[in-house]
Amino acid sequence: MTMNRRRFLALAALAGLVPLRARAGELSLDEISAYLNRYTTGEGGFTQINADGTISTGRIWIKRPGRIRFEYAPPDEAMFIAGGGQVAVFDPRSNEGPERYPLNQTPLNIILERNVDLARRGMVTGHESDGTTTTVTAQDPDHPEYGAIRLVFTADPIELRQWIVRDEGGTETTVILNDVQTGGRISDRLFNIQAEIAGSAP
């Protein structure tokens, strides 16, 4: 797996980005699925802790179903777009076009689907609570080799605060969300891969 793809997989769970209804204790899979299915748009920031210990930051835009955009701040300045069933990874240091692959080959697809159902057989491999946080680990039950996402929720108010992605090689990357605003208008242009390629062409 390339570093660009691994970084994108680290951004794989971004639909649940704002508080759920405040309640102590463990969130059920049905509660989390219902929340993700109600999620429409979100915009905010993220901090990423990479596998080598370095830290990256940037902005994120979400428009369910099936669309997300990550823009990394300098010095990275990379960009990741999911739209139209595809993912494109833009690397400003590359002289070639963006790396592209199907969205359904990333854990991101699990929560960007139109109808999220975490109770589906084999999708959730871990679900636990310590009384303060609820952690859910999910994967594509038909293709576990695509990787897994561990989502961590906190209470008071209940909120998805971070996720950890583990790739097929066992490498883990953490993403922490911040200041995400939901329900606003977001242009479809942000998720148009072809338009982005045309706009970045010399």
**Six-digit token string for 66:** 């099936």
Length, in residues, of the chain: 202
C-alpha atoms less than 13 angstroms from C-alpha of 23 in its C-beta half-sphere:
10
Task: Please give the model's pTM, rounded to 2 decimal places.
Answer: 0.81
CA distance 41 to 49: 24
Residues in a beta bridge with 162 = 152, 176
Taking only the tens place, the pLDDT of each residue in 127-154 is 999 888 888 999 999 999 999 999 887 7
Instruction: Name the average pLDDT for the chain.
Output: 84
Which of 35-44, 180-189, 192-201 is predicted least confidently?
A: 192-201
Q: If DSSP codes are grouped into helix, strand and coil, which group holds residue 94? A: coil
**Six-digit token string for 189:** 């242009």
CA distance 201 to 2: 23
Taking only the tens place, the pLDDT of each residue in 105-130 is 888 888 899 999 999 889 999 999 98
Taking only the tens place, the pLDDT of each residue in 62-78 is 999 999 999 999 998 89
- Residue 35, sorted as left (phi over 0), alpha (psi -120 to 50) or beta, turns out to be alpha
Domains, in order of start, for the chain: 3-182 (2.50.20.10)
Residues 118 and 150 sit within 8 Å (Cβ to Cβ): no
CA distance 48 to 193: 23
CA distance 7 to 51: 9
**Six-digit token string for 25:** 């204790």
Q: Which of 77, 86, 38, 37 is nearest to 59 (CA)?
A: 77
